[in-house]
Structure 1
Amino acid sequence: DLWIISSNGAVTRSLTGETFHRDLLPLETARALCAQMDEFRGNLVITFDREGKGALLLEHLEELTLSIRRWLEKNMECIEFSRPIEQALGSDPLQAMFCGSVERMRQAAAVLASAPVRAHITQLKTEYPARDLCILDVLNRSCSKGHALERWAHHRGIAPEAVVAIGDNHNDAEMLNFAGRAFIMENAAPELKENGWTVTRSNDACGVAAVVDLLIE
């Protein structure tokens, strides 16, 4: 009876494939996003809740950072290329991702902050300064790991005080705020360390295992 919250909270599904909840980005919102973020089309990847070709949609690879290109190249069988990207947008996607250098994504975030579509979306950020990599995730309004975790806990009758969450980046903040026991990795984004959450070891030093050991002592 294991369930996974994925795609920044957009999908909650069991390991056997049973879906509890999906919070998709409405098609018209996705189309508006593409139009209003036109100068960042080369950084845009749109994901869908499907397997095989078409699970990932983008215009081209040329403007993406090396690490993102490597990830996409490993999943080439899932990619559909379309110019313009709207031509292949025929159903509600899971989310849109703008991927690029930290500075490029700061520019994208500034444009998105003043775009009309901003009122209809949730914007989350995952940033790795050491790799000069930033991902801006765009989801349906009010969709996040925190909202998904709260929905699942309520469904199972689990109080927030009994929930444990472990995170390391900006897109984990809502989830950490909900959990009664919140931990962050030693290598977490510096801003997360300002919230008073317990710091465990880094990702490379078995930080999750250290939390489990602490909880079962």
Structure 2
Amino acid sequence: MTIKLVAIDIDGTLVNNNREITPEVFDAVQQAKAAGVKIVIATGRPLLGVKNILSALNLLEAGNYVITYNGALVQATDTGEAFIDEPLTYEDYLDIETESRRLETPLHSITMRAIYTHNRNISKYTVNEAYITGLPLKYRTAAEMSGKEIVKMMYIDEPEKLDETISKLPTRFTERYNIVKSTPFYLEILNKNASKGLAVQHLAEKLGISHEETMAIGDEENDRSMLEAVGTPVVMANGNPELKKIAKHITKSNDESGVAHAINEWVLN
């Protein structure tokens, strides 16, 4: 079956360890585009934080889509118009904020326009997220967050402390939210209907592309849902060993242009 849509994670997948798109990856993406394949970047970042990558890959033209905020939004890359929008409610915010104080774990919340924190002593990881995404960072109390459309929230801490927090989360959290550990120091909390996997499925349906015609390439646990949602799941050689168990193919590492290898071998061949 011909592959017509390829969803690609960024860190540890699309870019090398210097956060660069190699010439081999660029060429493979352009060849796939020329062949009519939809290349869809799937990321935890907002659109603003990934526009440089979309521009570098010539993916800002009309008809291209990007999965942002780990699947809470699917947007047209040229206009930013949201095709899928699964935000958290203010009630969700209060629930998650209360637990962050109980667990003594820093928290920030992200909308399409800014990052908000209630922590007076702002975590270095919140500052890092603002730097990576390019979003302004603002201090707001819980009461001041009413009326804001929150795309996702993140518990953030040193890896050992974050793991301790995860072990103490109430059972209802996993029932009420989609929870994804995207890095050793980031735990992302999203609407239950927001995931990279559901985003890929819905986008493929919109484009009239069957399950068998979809591929995803990833390396970490926050990619699991989209790898499980496609016909051809591909995991990087540098990927999580647990993810490799569900892969149809293992490609080369991100430092060896593994995305290019995957496209050349299983899309263009």
**2:259 equivalent to 1:208:** yes
**2:106 equivalent to 1:43:** yes
Q: Rate the CA distance shift 1:47–1:176 in 2: closer, same or farther, 3 A.
A: same
Does structure 1 retain, via aligned residues, the 8 Å contact 2:64–2:77? yes
Which residue of 2 is the match for residue 14 of structure 1? 76
Aligned ranges 1:74-89 → 2 under 5 Å: 78-82=136-140, 85-89=141-145
SS of residue matched to 2:185:
strand
Aligned ranges 1:36-115 → 2 under 5 Å: 36-40=99-103, 42-50=105-113, 55-60=114-119, 62=121, 64=123, 69-73=127-131, 78-82=136-140, 85-90=141-146, 91-114=148-171
SS of residue matched to 1:37:
helix
Which residue of 2 is the match for residue 137 of structure 1? 188
Point out where structure 1 has 5 or more consecutive residues left out of the alignment: 128-132
Which residue of 2 is the match for residue 122 of structure 1? 178
Q: Structure 1: how far apart are the matches of 2:203 and 2:213?
A: 13
TM-score under structure 1 normalisation? 0.84
Q: Structure 2: how far apart are the matches of 1:164 and 1:57?
A: 35
Does structure 1 retain, via aligned residues, the 8 Å contact 2:215–2:233? yes
| 1:118, distance to aligned residue in structure 2 (A) | 4.0
SS of residue matched to 1:112:
coil
Identity, % of aligned pairs?
Answer: 24
Which residue of 2 is the match for residue 146 of structure 1? 197
| 1:76, distance to aligned residue in structure 2 (A) | 7.5
Does structure 2 retain, via aligned residues, the 8 Å contact 1:40–1:98? no
C-alpha root-mean-square deviation of aligned residues, in Å? 2.3
Does structure 1 retain, via aligned residues, the 8 Å contact 2:116–2:139? yes
Q: Structure 2: how far apart are the matches of 1:159 and 1:74?
A: 34
Q: Structure 2: how far apart are the matches of 1:174 and 1:73?
A: 27
Note the alpha carbon deviations across 1:14-64, whole angstroms, 9 max, x for none: 1122221210011111111111221456521210022xxxx1011348573
Letter in 2 for 1:64: S
TM-score under structure 2 normalisation? 0.69
Q: Rate the CA distance shift 1:45–1:118 in 2: closer, same or farther, 3 A.
A: same
Higher helix share goes to which structure?
A: 1
Which residue of 2 is the match for residue 157 of structure 1? 208
Note the alpha carbon deviations across 1:59-87, whole angstroms, 9 max, x for none: 34857356x644435668611013xx413
SS of residue matched to 1:16:
coil
| 1:101, distance to aligned residue in structure 2 (A) | 2.5
Note the alpha carbon deviations across 1:83-115, whole angstroms, 9 max, x for none: xx413312230000112232222112122243x
Does structure 1 retain, via aligned residues, the 8 Å contact 2:115–2:135? no
| Larger relative contact order (CA 8 Å, sep ≥ 6) | 2
| 1:12, distance to aligned residue in structure 2 (A) | 0.7
**2:235 equivalent to 1:184:** yes
Letter in 2 for 1:72: A
Q: Structure 2: how far apart are the matches of 1:77 and 1:211?
A: 32
